Amino acid sequence: MFLFQHLKPECVLINPVVTGRDQLFRLFGDVFEDFSLVSSGAVVERSLKEREAILSTGIGQGWAIPHAQIPGAGRLLMAVSVHPQGIDYPAVDQSPVRLVFCLIGDSKTAADHLAGLARMARLARQAEVLERLVKAPSSEAFIETLKAIEEG
């Protein structure tokens, strides 16, 4: 499974104006709804917050991987938010989060959901990956960079 295959340029947000995690979750919900990937952005936002209440998805070293299962999603959905200066997002190492991958799935996509989380965890262990992705000047460049990393 390659992550870049699940990304559309309209779901890659380069340096969006958000002050923290809650605003970012609202933005992800809006993006998924605006592009008709889900019927309700509010359900995405609420589901991400509920998952986050269990344990922060800020995994450290500048990465966060919020994720949730939403009945009816039908396939693995992904959005990314890039924050070169970092945003306020509780992380295990207390570092600002610079790269956020959001995964939405449902019970039918559980295998893809877990595979995506595992793939991101492997990428997050490589500091140079974060730096390369955060420097992408556009959504398209981000996806091409991710493709090069994954296929490299």
Buried b (16+ CB within 10 A) or exposed e, 71-96: eebeebbbbbbbbeeebbbebeeeee
CATH number, domain 3-151: 3.40.930.10
Model pTM above 0.85: yes
- Identify the sign of the CA torsion 88, 94, 100, 106: negative
pLDDT digits (tens, 9 = 90+) for 95-145: 999 999 999 988 777 777 788 788 888 888 888 999 999 999 999 999 999
**Are 13 and 31 spatial neighbours (Cβ–Cβ below 8 Å)?**
yes
For the chain, give every domain's residue range: 3-151
Q: What is the pLDDT of residues 17-36, one digit of tens each?
A: 998 999 999 999 999 999 98
Q: Are strands 97-105 and 77-87 parallel, antiparallel or unpaired?
A: antiparallel
